[in-house]
Structure 1
Amino acid sequence: MNLDINQTWNQHVVKKGNKSIVLEIIKNKSPISRADIASLTNLNKGTVSSLVNELISENLIYEKGPGESTGGRRPIMLLFNASAGYSIGIDIGVNYILGILTDLQGEIILEKKISVHQLGYSEMMEQVIDIISYLKKNIPESRYGLIGIGIGVPGIVHKNGTVLIAPNLNWKNAPLKEMIEDQFHVPVMIENEANAGAYGEKIFGAGQTSDNIVYVSAGIGIGVGLIIDGHLYQGNKGFAGEMGHMTINASGEKCRCGNIGCWELYASEQALIQKALESGIAREQASLESLIEKAHHSDPAAIKLFTEVGKMLGVGITNIINTFNPQQIIIGNRMASAEQWLREAVEQTIKENLLWFFQDNLSLEFSHLSSYSASLGMTAFSIENFLKIDLTAENK
């Protein structure tokens, strides 16, 4: 039977301290014995045994064994119980909404994706609530049921969960966190979708072995998520990463944000489609998918378009590398599906414009999580919030 989450509202199962350390070790290194936990944490065996018993009673870990002997009695092994609870991650795009249900290891159990077109805030929220309700209804029987909801939004998100502005959605001061918490009565986390994508790639995808990452979310707009020293960098109030709106053409077009010559006007899915319409390559029904299909059939005009947009992606990325000197660049969101026609142009532009010492030990990757980077990142935030452990520790 699912636990009534209202009984544990804002009271997490695992408190900060030794118990969270033990749980983190078991989650990241299971199967593992009590003796090995004591050795790794420098806690005495009695303390470890007591904490393990608490975690077993809370259904967060379980015993399995015995393991291999190192000379004495074969030890009982401990494993993390990923099915003790479930998280929902939502990725709100300009033209889609993706929702996923995962266990506590981030394994996707169920998903639902819909296409949307120029919906207002209220209509968009109706669709989000429908998707969450569908996923929640299908949660397997578990001790804790739904432990949290994470929502990624293409806009500037205050740390209090309010979406201050999302230019491509025409949202301003949207109280998203408050509304979803009132509806579902579980902890809700709201984050910029590029930050969520960066975190998703760090925990589950291409960034697992890097500590300094720039994640470029290239969809209708462009956002940037930054992983610095292994942790998400959010800035003073959570606004870091709005580099899609850095000016790369001071005499260029006006962006929806009010600025002139923003990067996303030249290097996004929106830019690609606009170029296709202006050049006559596509008609009113132009889409990323239709242009990829043309490129697959060796259409030279479509391939040229991808090359042009790839060069502009490379220009912005070069500026970011000059600022942050990362180990890794990861290009994600919908434009990542066009890697075959973007990669060479992006790499060439970076090579031609970046000083050589910035290029040393720098890798360029396209998302390993396909369209799931942001939604998985949001489930990771919720899981981390519930368990009170550092998920990035798994990759160190």
Structure 2
Amino acid sequence: MKQTGDLFLVKKINKSIVLDMIRSRSPISRAKVSELTGLNKTTVSSLVNELIDEHLVHEMGPGKSSGGRKPLMLLFNEQAGYAIGVDVRIDSVTAVLTDLGGAIKDHCWFQLESNSAEHICGVVVRAVRELSARAPESPYGIIGVGVGVPGIVDEQGSVLFAPNLHWSGVPLQQMLTEELQLSVVIDNEANAGAVGEHKYGAAQDTDNLLYVSVSHGIGTGILLGGHLYRGSSGFAGEAGHFSIKLDGEPCSCGNKGCWELYASENALLLEAAKLDSVRKHTGGNPPALEDLIRLAEDGDPQVIAVMEHVGRHLGIGISNLINLFNPQRVIIGNRIALIEPWIAKPLYDTVKERSLSFHYARVSLEISRLKLDSGVLGAASFALQAFFAKTQISL
């Protein structure tokens, strides 16, 4: 009996290795899979046939030959199923449909009318169902949902604390799983952004990454050695709530002088709302970031000055993170990426001034090219990881 169990385990491990090789290297021949994995050709051929039967791999035309018959090339079937990634913000929900390779195939966006857990859960369900209905037919259908939330999330997918949403102890994974009857993964939105940049953005060749997500608040996804650093309890990355001013303004987290009070989109909007040109532009209503972008594009000097001020405060916090973690790369993303033309120089100048010279000399600092897609792509990636983990064995 033990031998049967051992043989089954070995086969499952080998099948996982073969699938990973085809996913990462396709188009690839059976012979090349055998060469790169060290598995014999008979084993590879048998496992590939199973993966073809399971619709995860298919054959394309013959490849180049170095002599003899041309080999049939294998492709990972990225359209065998679809994942949904969701990014929850304090005022909206964005969702994308991706194939198994992470390519975005569809998307939707909804404005939030309330920050209550019930309302947001309902909007997420609506987004998932809308994308599911529009998804192409496939052997595995919707394989799962990943959700990024601006708050502290535990291993059970409960949102323990999300100050900007005014949430505490919300069992979001349970709520969504019961409603959708799908596999659901919940994580912090900055962690999702870091994974999105690592898998699909500028950090694909980076093992040590800081992703700074700046929207209404600030979160940090930390990648060390190619893996998310979560801390001893899984709550690492709440850099928006470290204090940069001893006697600063009170924060929704209960602290005061928090970084996000001076360097977030919300900080920018609050400061800009005091300007005469902004009040005139909005008719006295609270401005949106898009209002400020239009005014800055028109050359409004006061709006540009406020943006630069926020950029300098961003630089202060980022220089502290660089001095602490000594990362290869720092990527600033989310909504703040939309005002790159006006914050980039003051941000970069401040980081250079305040970072230790040895740390600064070895770090790449940039604003995300994925802009608003880092988080939703990372969230979809969590769903994909959960799907493929069902056929994998961790050694």
Asked if Structure 1 and Structure 2 have the same fold, meaning a TM-score greater than 0.5 normalized by the shorter chain, the answer is yes
| Residue pair 1:21, 1:389 contacting (<8 A) in 2 also | no
2:174 and 2:249 mapped to 1: Cα distance?
A: 36
Aligned residue in 2 for 1:307: 308
2:12 and 2:290 mapped to 1: Cα distance?
A: 47
- Asked whether 1:37 is paired with 2:33, we answer yes
Instruction: For residues 272-310 of structure 1, give each alpha carbon's deviation from its aligned partner in whole angstroms, at most 9, with x where no partner exists.
Output: 011112344423231111111111111111110111000
2:131 and 2:198 mapped to 1: Cα distance?
A: 25
1:247 and 1:300 mapped to 2: Cα distance?
A: 29
Question: Which deviates more from structure 2 when the two are superposed, residues 190-199 or residues 202-211?
Answer: 202-211
SS in 2 for 1:278: coil
SS in 2 for 1:143: coil
Aligned residue in 2 for 1:126: 122
Seq. identity, %:
49
Aligned residue in 2 for 1:94: 90
Q: Offset at 1:335?
A: 0.6
2:261 and 2:230 mapped to 1: Cα distance?
A: 24
Structure 1 spans left out of the alignment, 5+ residues: 1-14, 392-396
RMSD over aligned CA atoms reads 1.5
SS in 2 for 1:370: coil
2:169 and 2:80 mapped to 1: Cα distance?
A: 35
Q: Offset at 1:139?
A: 1.8
- Asked whether 1:178 is paired with 2:184, we answer no
1:118 and 1:272 mapped to 2: Cα distance?
A: 22
Q: Offset at 1:361?
A: 2.6
Cα 1:317–1:117 shift into 2, 3 Å: farther
Cα 1:390–1:276 shift into 2, 3 Å: farther
1:281 and 1:256 mapped to 2: Cα distance?
A: 29
Among candidates 104, 108, 111, match of residue 107 of structure 2: 111
Q: Offset at 1:173?
A: 0.5
Aligned residue in 1 for 2:8: none
Aligned residue in 2 for 1:189: 185
Aligned residue in 2 for 1:67: 63
For 1:274-289, list aligned pairs within 5 A: 274-283=270-279, 284-289=285-290
1:390 and 1:298 mapped to 2: Cα distance?
A: 56
Question: Which deviates more from structure 2 when the two are superposed, residues 110-119 or residues 131-140?
Answer: 110-119
| Residue pair 2:114, 2:120 contacting (<8 A) in 1 also | no
Amino acid at match of 1:314: G
| Residue pair 2:273, 2:286 contacting (<8 A) in 1 also | no
Structure 2 spans left out of the alignment, 5+ residues: 1-10, 280-284
2:157 and 2:388 mapped to 1: Cα distance?
A: 20
| Residue pair 2:250, 2:256 contacting (<8 A) in 1 also | yes
1:180 and 1:205 mapped to 2: Cα distance?
A: 28
SS in 1 for 2:278: coil
SS in 2 for 1:260: coil
1:31 and 1:179 mapped to 2: Cα distance?
A: 40
Q: Offset at 1:235?
A: 1.8
Aligned residue in 1 for 2:384: 383
Q: Offset at 1:333?
A: 0.5
1:367 and 1:299 mapped to 2: Cα distance?
A: 25
Matched residue pairs, number?
377
SS in 1 for 2:107: strand
1:199 and 1:75 mapped to 2: Cα distance?
A: 35
Instruction: For residues 169-221 of structure 1, give each alpha carbon's deviation from its aligned partner in whole angstroms, at most 9, with x where no partner exists.
Output: 11110111011111122211000000000100100011112111100000000
Aligned residue in 1 for 2:13: 17
| Residue pair 2:115, 2:166 contacting (<8 A) in 1 also | no
| Residue pair 1:20, 1:389 contacting (<8 A) in 2 also | no
Among candidates 229, 233, 240, match of residue 237 of structure 1: 233
Cα 1:180–1:205 shift into 2, 3 Å: same
- Asked whether 1:336 is paired with 2:337, we answer yes
For 1:199-348, list aligned pairs within 5 A: 199-283=195-279, 284-348=285-349
Q: Offset at 1:16?
A: 5.5
Q: Offset at 1:140?
A: 1.1
Cα 1:117–1:266 shift into 2, 3 Å: farther
Q: Offset at 1:389?
A: 9.1
Q: Offset at 1:119?
A: 3.1
| Residue pair 1:94, 1:117 contacting (<8 A) in 2 also | no
For 1:367-378, list aligned pairs within 5 A: 367-378=368-379
Question: Which deviates more from structure 2 when the two are superposed, residues 364-373 or residues 53-62?
Answer: 364-373
Aligned residue in 2 for 1:152: 148
| Residue pair 1:211, 1:231 contacting (<8 A) in 2 also | yes
Amino acid at match of 1:287: A
With the length of structure 1 as denominator, give the TM-score of the two structures: 0.93
SS in 2 for 1:65: strand
Q: Offset at 1:129?
A: 1.1
| Residue pair 2:16, 2:391 contacting (<8 A) in 1 also | no
SS in 2 for 1:101: strand
